[in-house]
Amino acid sequence: MTSWPDLEPMPNKLVNYGVTDNGIAVIELISDTDGKPLEEGRTSVNTYTREMWEDIDQAILNARFDGNVSVILLTGHGEKFFSAGASINYLNTLSPRYKYFFCLHANETLSRLEQTPKLVIAALNGHTVGGGLEIAMAAWTRDCNGSRYPNCTQR
């Protein structure tokens, strides 16, 4: 059993990234309901915005190009949500044209994840809804068992 790695925030502070000593890259989603970096007292629902997709995309590339990484593990921060999908508050601020390109970028990032030649596991640590489910489905496999995910049950 390997220990959980020290996770460092990606540039937009919406994803944490780290690699275990045995080659597991951990990508942890971490944001509030507005899709902003998590602050004290806010619930981590891990909703996404364009900035989170930028962080996810860069984390995927980091793992892809790291010769020591053989597995990518996606998870959400906290115990309640893997991801609640897109931030509705964020989406309400976008023009239709911008929203189109936002969705295109999300789909391109998920395609990159799906085509990554490394094992990709979505560790579902809580509610997984809307676009959060799309992220989970882009992984090769999904898991919600284990002591790290006490609130998650398979159905």
For the stretch 42-93, pLDDT in tens is 889 999 999 999 999 999 999 999 999 999 999 999 989 999 999 999 999 9
Is the pTM value of this prediction over 0.75? yes
Task: Give the three-class secondary structure for 134.
Answer: helix
Instruction: Give the residue-averaged pLDDT of 130-148.
Output: 86
Cα-flanking dihedrals φ and ψ of residue 56, to 5°? -60, -45
130: left (phi over 0), alpha (psi -120 to 50) or beta: left
Domains of the chain, each with CATH number or no CATH: 8-143 (3.90.226.10)
